[in-house]
Amino acid sequence: MSDQQDKKNSTKADSSAEDDAKSPLNEVKEIRKEAELTQTGSDIKKEDHPEFITVQDPTGEEPIELPTVDGAVLMSTLQASFPGATGLKYKNPKTGANRAVQVDPSGLKLLVPSDGWDNKTFHVIVAPQGERVRALSSADATSAKRRKVGSSDDSDSDDGRDGRSGRKRAVERDSQPVDLIVLGVDFKTSDDCFQKYFEQIGNVVFCEIKRKSDGSSKGFGFVRMASVGEQNKVLAIPQHMIDGRRCDVKVPDGRDKQRPSISRIFVGRLTDKVDEHQLRKVFGEEAQNYVETAVVTDVFIPKPFRGFAFVTLSSAEAAERIVSDSFSKGSLTINGISVGLSIAQPREENQTFGPDYGLPAGYRNRRERDRPDRRPLQNDAVLPMPFARHDFGYRPPQQSSPLERRYWSPGDSSRPAW
DNA sequence: GTTGAGCGTT
């Protein structure tokens, strides 16, 4: 345990230089690092494992070194660097065949090969695109009222003038973590395993697998992280691997009116070559020009391909600016073609909006109307629509009692032993 | 082919 302390301390000491090192983004990275170090792999011998293993980037970029923790490589670490990765392989020099790296039964760790990590170049195994797992067998026709919600960032410092607008880089405040829905959970996954998976990524304040009265799993669950930063880390991982099964984690379509939702971008005029990875990359980089801590939390490309996609960002501010700059300065180019961007319209027909946010009456049912985001834009980068204004300081209604009791802060001793 | 899956109270 004490050498973990040492590692932590030296990490801190390394970041001596400037305020630069204290940027929210770096803090996020540190939190992550610490979360990984805290993770214990108890039964693995502490022998001479290398600190990092070398993994070839399938997109042809330079190789990436992934850290080991007690001799294992965390699946979450792999997936953070290689979205969609499900495992690692390496060439067996004797046979010329590929060997897969063994995955711990929980699906959380990649275990050290029998002859060690050294002297091997690893390659990423990625699940085929079309093979994403369904959460529930399609027999689930509950007609719930739905409303998409987004989230924003929780950081505080701002400096830096960036983004194509040349405006000051924004920072978002006032948002709280929410329960995230976890879809595709294996029916046999235990609450304990479920919780442990997310604790690798950050502090978990609440989690639960939904079960029927007989105790059997419904195949989905919820998790709430302690901070928006940790929540964003969870959401930024495109494909989670929990107990050996691929799962999606999303901000739920809450019927509880949590906050205004304008963080989703509609991306039109796409060529059929785009894939999720590419959109995550383009929009992730773009978003961070505007809001340092922004991440892509979801990408949806209809199958079969229909020429458009939805990209959800953790930051509404970033989404708004990307869209508005695409009008004033010309759109982003993907695969050489300039795409059409707008703020996604809410999905359900009969949305009930709270009094302080949402579409103004004149813009409801705009599918049939002259949509402002289709009109040629005059000149100066105004949002195509008067969506919710964050600078007015929207506060979600203070959710009183019934929910409150379900959450415990990380250090709270009254927190039950899960 | 420019607007989307699956979603919780006990």
Residue span of the structural domain in which A67 resides: 52-125
Q: Is the pLDDT of residue A26 over 50?
A: no
pLDDT in tens, A326-364: 999 999 999 999 999 999 988 765 444 433 333 333 333
CA of A389 to C1' of B7 (A): 27
A407 touches strand B (CB under 7 A): no
A372 touches strand B (CB under 7 A): no
| Residues 240-269, chain A, CB closer than 7 Å to nucleic strand B | 248, 250, 252-254, 256, 264, 266, 268-269
pLDDT in tens, A107-163: 778 999 999 999 999 999 876 543 332 222 222 222 222 222 223 333 333 345 555
DSSP secondary structure string, A208-257? EEEE-TTS-EEEEEEEEESSHHHHHHHHH-SSEEETTEEEEEE----SS-
β partners of residue A289: none
Which candidate, A129, A157, A116, A145, places its Cα nearest to that of A21? A157
A347 with A338: CB under 8 angstroms?
no
Residue A243 sits in the same domain as residue A219: yes
pLDDT bucket at A219, cuts 50 / 70 / 90: very high
CA angle A228, A234, A238 (to 5 degrees): 135
Q: Is the pLDDT of residue A396 over 90?
A: no
Mean pLDDT for all residues in chain A: 69
pLDDT, residue A163, reads: 59
Residue A204 sits in the same domain as residue A270: no
* Final residue of a structural domain among A343, A370, A396: A343
Residue A303 sits in the same domain as residue A334: yes
* Total count of domains within chain A: 3
CA of A120 to C1' of B3 (A): 46
CA of A406 to C1' of B3 (A): 36
Most confident of A53-62, A287-296, A373-382: A287-296
A213-217, A245-249, A259-263: least confident range: A259-263
CA of A128 to C1' of B5 (A): 19
Reported pTM = 0.59
Specify the nucleotide whose C1' lies closest to residue A136 (CA): B6
pLDDT in tens, A268-300: 999 999 999 999 999 999 999 999 999 999 999
Which CATH number does the domain housing residue A316 bear?
3.30.70.330
| Residues 123-142, chain A, CB closer than 7 Å to nucleic strand B | 132-136, 140, 142
Q: Residue A228 falls within a domain, yes or no?
A: yes
Q: Residue A98 falls within a domain, yes or no?
A: yes
Q: Note the strand B nucleotides within 7 A of protein beta carbons.
A: 1-10
Q: Residue A15 falls within a domain, yes or no?
A: no
Three-class DSSP category at A4? helix
Nearest residue to nucleotide B5, by CA–C1' distance, is: A134
pLDDT bucket at A179, cuts 50 / 70 / 90: very high
